[in-house]
Amino acid sequence: MNNISLPIIFLVLAVVVLVFGFGVVWLNRRKPAAPVVQRATPITKTAVVEKLVAEKVVVEEAVEEVAVTEVVAVVEKASVRDRLSKARSAFGGAVTSVLTRSEISDTTWDELEEALLRADVGVRVAQELMQPLRARVKSKEIVSPQQLIDALRQDMSAHLVSTDRELRFDATIEGPNIWLMVGVNGAGKTTSIGKISAQQTALGRTVMMAAGDTFRAAAGEQLATWAERSGAEIIRGAEGGDPSSVIFDAVQAANARNIDLVLADTAGRLQSNTNLMEELRKVRRVAEKGAGTVTEVLLVIDATTGQNGLSQARVFAEATQVTGIVLTKLDGSAKGGIVFAIETELGIPIKLVGLGETITDLVAFNPIEFVDALF
Amino acid sequence: MFDSLGDRLGGVFKRLRAKGRLTEADVNEMLGEIRTALLEADVNIGVVRNVVERIRVQAIGAKVAEALDPGQQIIKIVNAELVAMLGGETLKIAYASQPPTVVLMAGLQGSGKTTSAAKLAAWFKAQGRNPMLVGADLQRPAAVEQLKVLGAQINVPVFSAPGDPVATAAAGLAEAKRIGRDVLIVDTAGRLAIDAEMMQQVSDISAAVKPDYTFLVVDAMTGQDAVTVAKAFDETLSISAVILSKLDGDARGGAALSVKEVIGKPIAFAATGEKMDAFEQFHPDRMASRILGMGDVLTLIEQAEKVFEKEQAEAAAAKMFEGEFTLDDFLDQLQQIKKMGSLTNVMGMLPGVTKEMKNAQISDDMLTVTEAIIYSMTTEERRKPEIINGSRRTRIAKGSGTQVSDVNKLVKQFSEMQKMMKRMGGMAGKGGKKGGPMAGIPADLAAALGSRPGSR
């Protein structure tokens, strides 16, 4: 047996279980499945989505029941379009070539698809968006390139407009509201907390920050700087400590001091890291063990993110019941089109958009401006 | 999540095989699938267009229709093309004759510059150098503190001064000369490629320290924008090489290909984990199969190496190949594999896992049920499942809270697996590459098994 190298052995072991596991599923398909195995059958993608939607509905209903005062983050009205003009002038509208043609040809469709893909909406979503348009062009409902672009923009915003995007703050609950920030490394969680904190204190709410990122070096210091700038209090734990307990302590402290809102930071983690996702699940669970209630779980996504964003949203939502997306760094040259797929496919609303480094640069998401800026 | 190129081409070729020869339309359909696969991996659309054209030329020349398995042959062509694109010239560090050798780090916010700077310092240290870090990111709160903490962890001095980043960088260079460090790594603030003011600042820093190497840090999850970013930074700073960060995630990482193609600079390093030593030189071949969703066997093996006990694994494999693998051993291995993460994840890394298998989405709950059944067996039953008769079955089902049919299935599966393993054992022993069809084992996995180099 010595001639078999170790890697092969490892591989074989992996294969053993996988082949075995697959076999069970396969057998089930051939025969009507036994009840127990059916229970064990994995959750399919649609099931996850349905579950998410269902959970969301439940949360919304519950919130309505207690007659919540939902408050929009009141900020200086910064137009997404204005802020993006820099990027747009630098790279030109990707659809200008579509518009310069006098009629709709095969090239038009190619260019339109390219514009969508360049904005990172993804191949499948791009095709789904173009299909109904093709039919409308065929039936002569749409004849000019300008009409085509307008129709596409309308369709896209129509997919986004119906959703409730307000940050949920429930003044009637006992104890503080807790807003939890989650996301991959470098998405901009800590910075977003700083900005949200400034806006919430401006609204007259008292804010406590929980430095739940105990992993990254100096993440606590970074958050403390933001706490100081925004007039919030902060609870920090030891570096390398248990994030759940830091957040729990912050909630208890906030409750004792009659503070309205706890903004809980967490360490960035890649969604493929099972152990860290388990840890996050625990953070979400433990956050509500004390006096407060988690009313928002915000997933922070960097606008430069490509198709992996969908996987991020799916896994984070499954682990922490994400209630909204914060799209950061949209003031760069990236368009953040992946959030269109996230909202339309997973039903997670985009709530805030980051457009710059100052405190007022985090604004409420506006679907029409976002779609206009996409191309 | 996304279909691998293998799955995509599999569908096309199933139809083609009946026809026996490729028409132009067939080639186009095939190229369409390749295009989609690359786009789903976040390769920039302009780059995709070029790659697809090059593959078209090769595919036509290769007369794939005559091949035994045209799908595999096309995949080989695509794979080779990507490896060639990603690889090529590698970065060799030539240390400056007058130390220190200066390295400048640049990139967008959150791409991983600070962490990569520290990891790079640790890497230089492992090469026997005496690096020093300079924190010139005075923008982000506590960025310098972060660098100092990381520096302390790897035992590398960190210099920084408040005020102006350009002056700080220059002072860092003077300090490195003064205390005699031979490598200087300058961390800078994250900046948007379109922020003219900030780009001017990094350009000034570059002019002040005259770096021997300028590394652009690119997040492996970046989408189409990677090209714009790389171009802008290359124009401003003349990038020497790219560091690909966060490669331990499940992103396909097409950005690597885009950046390489657009600025033509090598990808020197890949950051593959949270720890300071999770930083390695870039492997174009691994990246190519990752972009194509063809599984990442080497990463899988590395992960497996972390969780499996070497001796135990060897013993188990030996038993397996000799058909002496018991349910007890199986249970052991099951638990080890659970440590590697979710099954779907592990499966995603296996090459040749078919679409059907992926869609089945093996749930980890199923493992729990399987475990429960095995736990409800006596030692003897675990050793010799064939003695499990009707009454034993009922007892096991009751004990594990399952149905008799589930117990049946497990026993049946196990014996089939044993047979298969025995056959594989025979093949692996011979080192045969072209062995007969292996029941249930996907073809390219078998090839991977056969062609792995003998030692590690």
Q: What is the pLDDT of residues B316-360, one digit of tens each?
A: 777 777 777 788 888 887 777 777 766 666 666 665 555 555 555
What are the Cα distances from residue B307, in Å, to A8, B302, B326, B336? 15, 9, 21, 6
Strand partners, A328: A302
Name the token pair of A205. Answer: 């709410």
Are the C-beta atoms of B232 and B121 separated by less than 8 Å?
A: no
May I ask the CATH class of domain B299-451?
mainly alpha
Q: For residue B5, name the pLDDT band (cuts at 50, 70, 90).
A: low
The residue among B157 and A38 whose pLDDT is bigger is B157
CA distance to A112, A236, B25, B294, B402, per residue, from B29 (Å) = 20, 57, 6, 20, 47
Residue in A closest to B319 by C-alpha = A1
Q: Where do the DSSP E strands lie in B231-377? A: 241-245, 267-271, 279-281
- The amino acid occupying position B254 is G
Instruction: Report helix angle A123-138 to A145-161, nearest 10.
Output: 130
CA–CA min distance A67, chain B (Å): 39
Helices and strands in chain A: count of H runs, count of E runs: 15, 8
CB B131 within 8 A of CB B121: yes
B307 has a pLDDT exceeding 70: no
Q: Can you tell me the distance from the alpha carbon of A219 to that of A296, in angstroms, rounded to the nearest whole number? A: 22
- Residue A143 forms contact with B (CB below 8 Å): no
Question: Residue A36 and residue B369: Cβ atoms within 8 Å?
Answer: yes
CATH T-level assignment (fold) for domain B5-86: Four Helix Bundle (Hemerythrin (Met), subunit A) (1.20.120)
Q: Break chain A into its structural domains and give their ranges.
A: 51-78+167-374, 80-161
Domain boundaries, chain B: 5-86, 101-290, 299-451
Ramachandran area for residue B186 (φ above 0: left; ψ -120 to 50: alpha; else beta): beta
Which residue intervals of B20-129 are DSSP H helices? Answer: 24-40, 45-61, 70-86, 113-126
CA distances for B368 relative to A40, A64, A112, B410, angstroms: 9, 39, 48, 13
Identify any residues that bridge with B218 across adjacent strands, giving them in sequence order.
Answer: B244
User: With contact defined as beta carbons under 8 Å apart, do B265 and B241 qualify?
Assistant: yes
Calculate mean pLDDT across residues B300-320: 70
How buried is residue B310: exposed, middle or buried, by Cβ count under 10 Å (0-12/13-18/19+)?
A: exposed
- Pairing of the two strands A261-264 and B101-107: unpaired
Would you tell me how many other CB atoms lie within 10 Å of the CB of residue A368? 16
Distance CA A171, CA A177 (A): 8
Interface check for A240 against chain B (CB to CB < 8 A): the answer is: no
Using an 8 Å Cβ cutoff, are A330 and A354 in contact?
A: yes
pTM above 0.80, yes or no: no
At A12 the pLDDT is 60
Specify whether domain B101-290 bears CATH 3.40.50.300.
yes
Give the number of other CB atoms < 10 A from CB of residue B271. 22
Locate all alpha helices (DSSP H) within B270-309, ordered by sequence: 284-291, 297-307
Ranges in chain A, pLDDT < 70: 1-94
Scan residues 120-149 of B and list those with Cβ closer than 8 Å to A.
139-143, 145-149
Confidence of residue B70 (pLDDT cuts 50, 70, 90): low
Q: Which pLDDT tens digit goes with each residue over B205-236?
A: 999 999 999 999 999 999 999 999 999 999 99
Q: What is the mean pLDDT of the segment spanning B166-193?
A: 95
Supply the CATH classification number for the domain A80-161: 1.20.120.140
Q: Which homologous superfamily is A51-78+167-374 in? A: P-loop containing nucleotide triphosphate hydrolases (3.40.50.300)
Cβ distance A21 to B366 less than 8 Å, yes or no, reads yes
A:90-129 residues touching chain B, CB 8 A cutoff: 90-91, 114, 117-120, 122-123
* Cα B4–Cα B6–Cα B9 angle in degrees, nearest 5: 110
- B-chain residues near A302 (CB < 8 A): 110, 219, 221
Q: Which residues of A touch B350 (CB under 8 A)?
A: 14-15, 18
Separation between Cα atoms, residue B100 and residue B183, nearest integer Å: 5
CA B157 to chain centre: 32
Residue A331 has which token pair?
Answer: 């003031």
